[in-house]
Structure 1
Amino acid sequence: MVDRLTTEARSRLMAAVKGRNTTPEMAVRRLAHALGYRFRLCRKDLPGSPDLVFSSRSKVIFVHGCFWHRHPGCRKASTPSTRVDFWQAKFDRNVERDLRNGVRLMAAGWDVLEIWECQTRDRERLAATLQDFLGAPGIQNGS
């Protein structure tokens, strides 16, 4: 399949892909806040700069796009038909980096939750996932 965009147009399009404040990330943030949880965003001093950091609970959440982070079994995790070797190497690096950051965070005493883009569409299920992971709002585990 031939790319319908010029190299310059494709470059502009890819440069516009956001890494922060994405629609799925905003959905998780809004819901967590509505449920009474308070958090910090993207702490640079933690491996991988987690999207949401609950310091008093020693818990972090990453909100991953299914395409970029290769959600297993998800239809959004398709591989482009052109430059397959390039894309596969890129995806492999993303997955390896995610795994490495998760291991480093857990070794430092943090609990880690990955929420996938496709999981943000079901608000009730997402709320249950957040509550199971974080516990009761305003009450820290072990206090």
Structure 2
Amino acid sequence: MKRRSPAALNELVSKQMSAMPTRNTGTELALRRALHQLGLRFRIQDRSLPGRPDVVFTRARIAVFVDGCFWHKCPTHGTAPKNNSEWWLAKLNENVARDRRNDSKLLELGWLPVHVWEHEDPDVSAESIKALWRERTDTTARHRPSSGCR
């Protein structure tokens, strides 16, 4: 049974929460721009994958999630509202648990889940993602004969 949201503290808070974007946030757009500038091409908001990743690299099987510090309990910047604190704690904990379940499902399907915090530099994140993309699409490394030495 889904828990109903508690009443907002006031009308201003209600409007602020309703106005929160769920996709195409400034952070997502900055990351996508940085990825595109690095020559990477991708899909966005793929509904066929668990958790509907924000950015998807189908060939490399990488699913990127841009996590908001509030909604996903960033250990550095995450905050908890004082009003209705018990409800919010349960809600935010469930968000984190859902993220972990979706990561597990993606791994079972052969996908690599990658999480980027909204406070992280999009250019740095894009470089890291490009390195992962190269690792996962490097066909020469997979077809190189093994020398038997490690």
Q: Distance in 2 between matches of 1:45 and 1:131?
A: 23
1:131 Cα deviation (Å)?
2.3
1:140 Cα deviation (Å)?
2.5
Count of aligned residue pairs for this structure pair: 133
Counting aligned pairs with the same residue, the percent is 36
Letter aligned with residue 129 of structure 1: S
1:19 aligns with 2:22: yes
1:120 Cα deviation (Å)?
2.8
- With normalisation by structure 2, the TM-score equals 0.81
Match of 2:4 in 1: none
Match of 1:133 in 2: 132
**Aligned residues of 2:72 and 2:95 also touching (Cα < 8 A):** yes
Q: Distance in 1 between matches of 2:57 and 2:26?
A: 20
Give ranges in structure 1 of 5+ residues lacking alignment.
none
1:134 Cα deviation (Å)?
1.6
Aligned with 1:128: secondary structure? helix
1:62 aligns with 2:65: yes
- With normalisation by structure 1, the TM-score equals 0.84
**Aligned residues of 1:58 and 1:111 also touching (Cα < 8 A):** yes
Match of 2:111 in 1: 110
Q: Distance in 1 between matches of 2:54 and 2:132?
A: 15
1:6 Cα deviation (Å)?
6.1
1:133 Cα deviation (Å)?
1.9
Match of 2:13 among 10, 14, 34: 10
1:69-89 deviation per Cα after TM superposition (whole angstroms, max 9, x unaligned)? 0122x1x20111221101101
Give ranges in structure 2 of 5+ residues lacking alignment.
1-7, 141-150
Q: Distance in 1 between matches of 2:81 and 2:69?
A: 14
**Aligned residues of 1:41 and 1:52 also touching (Cα < 8 A):** yes
Question: By percentage of residues, which structure has more helix?
Answer: 1
**Aligned residues of 1:24 and 1:120 also touching (Cα < 8 A):** no
1:65 Cα deviation (Å)?
0.5
Letter aligned with residue 132 of structure 1: A
Larger Rg: 2
RMSD, matched Cα: 1.9
Letter aligned with residue 15 of structure 2: R
Match of 1:39 in 2: 42
Q: Distance in 2 between matches of 1:103 and 1:77?
A: 23
After TM superposition, the structure 1 = structure 2 runs for residues 53-92 of structure 1, keeping only pairs within 5 Å, are: 53-72=56-75, 74=76, 76-92=77-93
